[in-house]
Structure 1
Amino acid sequence: MDIRHLQYFVEVAKHQSFSKASEKLYVSQPTVSKMVKNLEDEIGMALLLRSTKRKLELTDAGHVVYRQGQAIIQSFHNIASELDAIKNMKTGTIRMGIPPMTGSRFFSKIISGFHQKYPGISIKIIEDGSKSLEKQLLQGNLDLAVLALPVAPDAFDYIEIVNDDLQLLVHPAHPFSACNAVKLSDLQNESFILFREGFHLHEVIPAECRKAGFDPAVVCESSQWDFISEMVAENLGIALLPETICRLLDPTRVKTILLIEPSIPWHLAISWQKDNYLSYASKEFVTYTCESLQVDPRNKKRAGGAIE
């Protein structure tokens, strides 16, 4: 079976039109018709119901060949992509999504070190919230993204790289500043400073507050953790930030306190689309990131196994 026969048939089935398929394939319509007829003759079954009064329809056999043909064509493209990656091992581009909160803390040194090791591989950084990056990764606009867990297991493969909890951030003059730990329910009368929509914590923190019996009063939203901490330092309100970020803050200007009952986890994973081809450059970046953060790259989550 010629791969071109499948390609031509799949395009006809996709567009339900010989003419539209010919435009997409940049060949004449008679050529497309001939290729599809040859495929039907080889299979020995009709794949299309042809009618002048309506669009083309697939027969039962046509549905099978269309579904399987798409997978075969994708595999064929993957072969070409992987061979090209082997041929050009030290070149490539990685489209990487990173939340602003993690960029300076975790990835500035990683990206610098990776570039020194692979100077021919360029990295295009997209900074946005975890939820926004998740959508872009699903749409194929990114190769890799750092996402807050949990993520959809049927959509992504990932390796967890950060395991952290949120801490309470208050002004030094706040009554809670003398406490070693504060319950989430104790914050029901406080003014919250949150990350804006599109960020994982924009959804998680209000959801946890509602579980604790109250809706948080939000006075300000931002996309930058340093701006959020500055607003706390100006006594505008309180905030919940990851412990890793809290360690970077000036303790004379803000006070960080353990949050309990419940603690709110902040787990991050370097993620990619499940079952999609992952370029050599992207695989190397995942491996390099795991080595830099001392994470076992074999801990790929989904069905288990190493990055191959």
Structure 2
Amino acid sequence: MDIKLRALRAFTEVVRQGGFSPAARQVFATQSAVSKAVRQLEDALGFMLLDRSVQPARLTAAGEIVLRRSLVVLAELDDLRGELDELRGLQRGVLRLGLPPIGSSQLFAPVFARFRGLYPGIEVQLVEHGSRRLAEMLRAGELDLAGLLVPMADEFEWQSVREEPMTVLLAEAGPAAADGDSIAFAALAGLPFVLFEAGFALNPMVLDAARAAGLEPHVVASTSQIEFMVELVAAGLGAGFLPRLMAQTRQRPGLRVLTLREPALSWHLALAWRRGGYLSHAARAWLELTAAG
């Protein structure tokens, strides 16, 4: 059985990108070359991996197995290259870092400055996504470190960065009843929610807590931008939710920021990496700087 790594990469990118054309752009090849590589992989394995009768092409049962195994193989190969590079004593390197849009500016901007001063030869390749997408990329070996919310899957190890109580943002003239500087979830009954987009792990955390309090929230708007969410809330569209660290810097006339209770809710951000995976010098240095505060 002759399986080439190039074919495995082509196949995984077709699945990840949702088609042959975007996969070709990702691996810097032509669409026909990517299609040929996938065909060669199918011939070598003796199974059809993609059902091309539908658009976009859909994984077959064999394709599901090959994708799962391919991600492990390719991630291990990246670890191998990184470890050998450090054995050669290379002075330059790359840190592939994934951070969520929520909280990163406050928590990590100072770390970037210190890291750059200490390790000017290391390039930081930064991607920003919600925690769900970052977990997928970390699992696939596309990232060295990712900012994820605790609790997380056992396949990851992690180092705590910051834990903050969750707050609810309300328009000043809103109907919800507050008790001092806090509010119970039950007081939000009947009030629409303004949440982040589906890839943000904050969403299920808020929705699960609301349902535990007997609410069935109506999500009236979703966004990936904190500032837009704040403006929607201030305009009276509904209740928004942010960790206290982010909410306090966005207080303004016409907006209330209240700590959630009954049930209380906390936002716990950590830097995660694959359990048992190779941590490069650059990744270890970033973890040390983050822990130093």
Q: Which moved more, 1:249-258 or 1:113-122?
A: 249-258
Counterpart for residue 158 of structure 1 = 158
Is it true that 1:215 corresponds to 2:228 in the alignment? no
1:214-293 aligned at under 5 Å gives the runs 214-292=215-293
Helix, strand or coil at the partner of 1:252: coil
- Give RMSD over aligned pairs: 2.5
1:267 maps to a residue whose letter is H
Q: Structure 1 140/179 Cα, relative in aligned 2: closer, same or farther at 3 Å? A: same
Residue 127 of structure 2 aligns to a residue in which SS?
Answer: strand
Residue of structure 2 equivalent to 1:58: none
User: Which amino acid is 1:171 matched to?
Assistant: A
Quick one: which amino acid aligns to residue 182 of structure 1?
I
Alpha-carbon spacing, 1:192–1:205, altered in 2? closer, same or farther (3 Å): same
The alignment-based identity, stated in percent, is 31
Structure 1, unpaired ranges of 5+: 1-16, 26-54, 56-69, 293-308
SS across alignment from 1:275 = coil
- Rounded Cα–Cα distance in structure 1 between residues aligned with 2:221 and 2:5: 50
Aligned length, in residue pairs? 226
Once the two structures are superposed, residues 189-215 of structure 1 have per-residue CA deviations (whole angstroms, 9 ceiling, x without a partner) of 101100110101121111111111121
Task: Give the letter for the 2:222 counterpart.
Answer: E
Paired letter, 1:152: A
Q: Secondary structure at the match of 1:170?
A: strand
Q: How does 1:1-308 map to 2 (within 5 A)?
A: 17=1, 20=2, 78=80, 81-82=82-83, 84-88=85-89, 90-153=91-154, 155-176=155-176, 179-180=179-180, 181-292=182-293
Deviations 1:192-251 (A, max 9, x none): 100110101121111111111121011100112221111111111111110111111133
Aligned residue for 2:102, secondary structure, equals: helix
TM-score, with length taken from structure 1:
0.68
Asked if structure 2 preserves the Cα contact closer than 8 Å seen for 1:194 and 1:220, the reply is yes
Q: What do the CA deviations read for 1:166-202 (whole angstroms, capped 9, x no partner)? A: 1111112224476422111111210110011010112
Separation in structure 2 between the aligned mates of residue 103 and residue 110 of structure 1, nearest angstrom: 10
Unaligned runs of 5+ in 2: 7-45, 47-71
Q: CA 1:118 to 1:178, structure 2 compared with 1: closer, same or farther past 3 Å? A: same
Residue 157 of structure 2 aligns to which amino acid in structure 1? D
Question: Contact 1:166 / 1:241 at 8 angstroms: preserved in 2?
Answer: yes
- Give the SS at the match of 2:257: strand
Find the aligned partners of 1:214 and 1:257 in 2 and give their Cα distance.
18
The 10-residue stretch of structure 1 (262-271 or 246-255) with the greater mean CA deviation from structure 2:
246-255
Change (3 A) 1:89 1:262: farther
Matched residue type, 1:167: T
The alignment partner of 2:237 has SS state of coil
CA distance in 2, matches of 1:105, 1:211: 31
Contact 1:179 1:257 in 2 (8 A): no
Q: What is the CA deviation profile of residues 228-284 of structure 1, one whole-angstrom value per residue up to 9, with x for unaligned ones?
A: 111111111111110111111133241101211111110010000010111111111
* One-letter amino acid of the structure 1 residue matched with residue 174 of structure 2: H
- Give the TM-score, by structure 2 length: 0.71
Q: Following the alignment from structure 2 to structure 1, what is the Cα–Cα distance between the partners of residues 283 and 101? A: 20
Per the alignment, do residues 276 and 109 of structure 1 end up closer, same or farther by CA in structure 2, a change over 3 Å counting?
same
Partner SS, residue 100 of structure 1: coil
Q: Quick one: structure 1 residues 178 and 185, their matched pair in 2 at CA, closer, same or farther if it must change by over 3 Å? A: closer
Q: Which structure has the greater CA radius of gyration? A: 1
Distance change in 2, residues 1:268/1:170 (3 Å): same
| Contact 1:193–1:237 under 8 Å retained in 2 | yes
> Aligned AA for 1:242?
P
Comparing 274-283 and 86-95, the one that deviates more: 86-95
- In the alignment, what sits opposite 1:304? none
Amino acid at match of 2:162: V
Conservation of the 8 A alpha-carbon contact between 1:144 and 1:270: yes
| Alpha-carbon distance between aligned partners in 1 of 2:168 and 2:104, rounded to the nearest angstrom | 21
